[in-house]
Amino acid sequence: MTDLSRTSAAETARLTASGDLTARVVVEEALARITERDPALNAFSVVLGEQARAEATERDAAVAGGATPGPLHGVPIAIKEEIDVAGTVTTFGGEANTTPASADAELVRRLRAAGAVIVGKTTMPEFGAFPYTESASRGITRNPWDRTRTPGGSSGGTAAAVSAGLVPVAIGGDGGGSIRIPSACCGLFGLKPQRGRVTTAPQPHLWWALGTAGPLTRTVLDSAIVYDAIRGNVPTDLYRAGGDEPFVAAAQRGPGRLRIGWTTKPVTLGVKPDPLHVQAVADMARLLADAGHDVREVDPRYPDPTAAFVPQFFAGIRTEADAVEHYERLERRTRETYRLGTWVRQGVIDWALKETEKVSAKANRVFEDIDVLLTPTIAHRPPVVGRLDGVGTVLASLRAMPAIAYAALWNVAGNPAAAVPCGTGPDGLPLSVQLVGRTDDEATLFSLAAQIEQARPWPLVAGDEA
């Protein structure tokens, strides 16, 4: 009998499309796993059991009536709290909104059009402000590999749900590492796409130039399938990416011989990477050299992204806070962050966006000589939960530095970047490296990551042997 907790989205869709399984059976089993396992993790804030069963039944009926199954036919998918799902409150991880969304976000509409079934929404820290999934409203979300550790954030509920085998795919968002950080903590593949690759509708942007949405998955192919289903823009999007190569095709072809530069130098001054992460990069560099790539150490000459990142961080929080129904219900730390960002007026935002262009140009100089940059994904091992307990904005920001030290620059620059699993450490927790690609070149990252996955398979769910 098929163990659906370990079955990829691609295989699940094949089974449902062929008639070997029904969407209803797949969804029922996912809901049963959530009921059984999630109380110990706190990955889900909302479970849409009745709605998901009805949607799965509709999928089965459509195929029985002759409809062509979509690429995600019958696949149960969870959605991060910051993204609209019709009939649910878009909480941003808190209690300040109370009215359910009247329509799906465009991304969710596209998932449904591809045949996916939405089974619930996943936890996040309020407004995704910090890379640890802890909040006054939702409590602490725990890492399936070790429940005393954080799954990272801000897409921590998303990561925990996929890593624990509750769903094969869940959607997160990344404004400073929030897809890659939890992927690294939970042993998942998580690619932040090029800025503008995925629509942010109904919002024109996500934290201005910093944010984008995308899947966290257990396999490279699953990520490619989801991205091909959700990519593209609508007229209201502030940003648009270039290039049109299908990602599924990229994930299924060899990458060719690439010039790969590696470094363990963090962007953030004063942060030291854990020796296990330094070793993971060295091991990956050897693996890639053995695969025939031109691999060498480089100095990326990182620009300082602070002047571009910080104003957009504050502006993103303030924009979302201004739109909630009950400002007074926001967490104390969120309200403190809001007040600390009062200096970020429109003129400052405009200036920061110009700085973004300068930082991007400087950051991309490294790709004059290489095709892909290899770095650690995060500097620290997944910390013990309670990282944000009782601390204000300033201390929370300092505690976030090791998580974002390699990630946030690429939100400012806009480049695609992926967290790729590479085994486990002696502490039993996942190891991860980051692959950064040239502008608009997710395809190379998909091809290279698929090659790594084949050469060094990673666990399908937390605790599995690779």
Domain residue limits, the chain: 4-455
According to the model, what pLDDT value does residue 464 have? 81
Under 8 Å between Cβ of 149 and 384: yes
Q: Which helix (H) or strand (E) holds 214?
A: strand 212-217
Strands in 70-149 per DSSP E: 76-80, 117-122, 134-135, 139-140
Please give the backbone phi and psi of residue 84, each rounded to the nearest 5 degrees, phi first. Answer: -65, 130
Within 10 angstroms of residue 46's Cβ, the number of other Cβ atoms is 18
Residue numbers annotated as active site: 80, 154, 178
CA distances from 42 to 147, 299, 367 (A): 10, 41, 40
Q: Which helix (H) or strand (E) holds 365?
A: none
Which amino acid belongs to residue 42? Answer: N
Under 8 Å between Cβ of 119 and 76: yes
CA distances from 73 to 13, 171, 246, 451 (A): 5, 16, 19, 26
Q: Where are the alpha helices (DSSP H) in 164-232?
A: 180-186, 220-230
According to the model, what pLDDT value does residue 1 have? 59
Burial 96-129 (b: 16+ CB within 10 A, else e): bbeeebeebbbbbbbbbebbbbbbbbbbbbbbbb
Q: Where are the alpha helices (DSSP H) in 297-345?
A: 306-322, 332-340
Within 10 angstroms of residue 391's Cβ, the number of other Cβ atoms is 15
CA distances from 231 to 62, 79, 118, 123, 406 (A): 24, 16, 18, 24, 25
Q: Chain-centre distance of CA 449, in angstroms?
A: 16
Within 10 angstroms of residue 58's Cβ, the number of other Cβ atoms is 14
Please give the backbone phi and psi of residue 284, each rounded to the nearest 5 degrees, phi first. Answer: -65, -40
Q: Which helix (H) or strand (E) holds 15?
A: helix 9-18
Distance CA 123, CA 117 (A): 18
Residue-by-residue pLDDT tens, the chain, 466 positions: 579 999 999 999 999 999 999 999 999 999 999 999 999 999 999 999 999 999 999 999 999 999 999 999 999 999 999 999 999 999 999 999 999 999 999 999 999 999 999 999 999 999 999 999 999 999 999 999 999 999 999 999 999 999 999 999 999 999 999 999 999 999 999 999 999 999 999 999 999 999 999 999 999 999 999 999 999 999 999 999 999 999 999 999 999 999 999 999 999 989 999 999 999 999 999 999 999 999 999 999 999 999 999 999 999 999 999 999 999 999 999 999 999 999 999 999 999 999 999 999 999 999 999 999 999 999 999 999 999 999 999 999 999 999 999 999 999 999 999 999 999 999 999 999 999 999 999 999 999 999 999 999 998 899 886 5
According to the model, what pLDDT value does residue 465 have? 61
Under 8 Å between Cβ of 107 and 85: no
Which amino acid belongs to residue 199? Answer: T
260: left (phi over 0), alpha (psi -120 to 50) or beta: beta
Structure tokens at 449: 């990551």
Per DSSP, the chain holds a count of helices (H) and strands (E) of 15, 13
* Residue owning tokens 């590696």: 262
Distance CA 308, CA 212 (A): 16
Under 8 Å between Cβ of 418 and 185: no
Fold of domain 4-455 = Amidase signature (AS) enzymes (3.90.1300)
What residues have CB less than 8 Å from 398, skipping those under 6 apart? none
Under 8 Å between Cβ of 297 and 265: no
Structure tokens at 114: 């591809």
Distance CA 404, CA 185 (A): 13
Kind of pairing between the strands at 117-122 and 139-140: unpaired
Structure tokens at 79: 């959605």
